[in-house]
Amino acid sequence: MRLNQVTVTMSDLDAGWNFYCTLGLKPVVDARPRYARFLCPDGDSTFSLHESKSNGGGTTVYFECDNLDETVSQLEKKGPQFTSPPEDKSWL
C-alpha cells in the first residue's frame, strides 16, 4: 500500500496555497478557489487542499494499492468493516 495523498478541507485556499508554497511544496494542480494539489519535496506523495465553506475543515487520507479488491477482502478477514465496496475511479 502506498500513500497517494492527504487532502485538507479549508475555507480559504489562497491562504493555504501561500502557506504550503512557503513550506516548499510544489504546486501541480491550481483549480482555486475549489482545489489545489502539491507534490511533496521528497518522494511521490501529494498534498491537496479542498474548499468548503460549510463544514469548517477536515482531513482525508488516500491510500492506493495494485489490487484493491483482493486487499479489501484480506482486510475484511482481519476485522475492519468498510462502509462501501471497492469502486474503481479514474484517479486510482
pTM of the shown model: 0.68
Which residues is 9 bridged to in the sheet? 50, 58
pLDDT (tens digit, 9 = 90+) per residue, 32-56?
999 999 998 777 888 999 998 776 6
Q: Rounded to the nearest 5°, which phi and psi values hold at 51? A: -85, 135
Looking at this protein, which amino acid is placed at residue 17? W
pLDDT (tens digit, 9 = 90+) per residue, 1-31?
777 888 999 988 999 999 889 888 899 999 9
CATH architecture under which domain 2-78 falls: Roll (3.10)
pLDDT at 49: 94
pLDDT at 30: 96
- Domain regions of the chain by residue span: 2-78
Q: What's the mean pLDDT in 59-86?
A: 85
Measuring CA to CA, which residue among 30, 60, 64 is closest to residue 44? 64
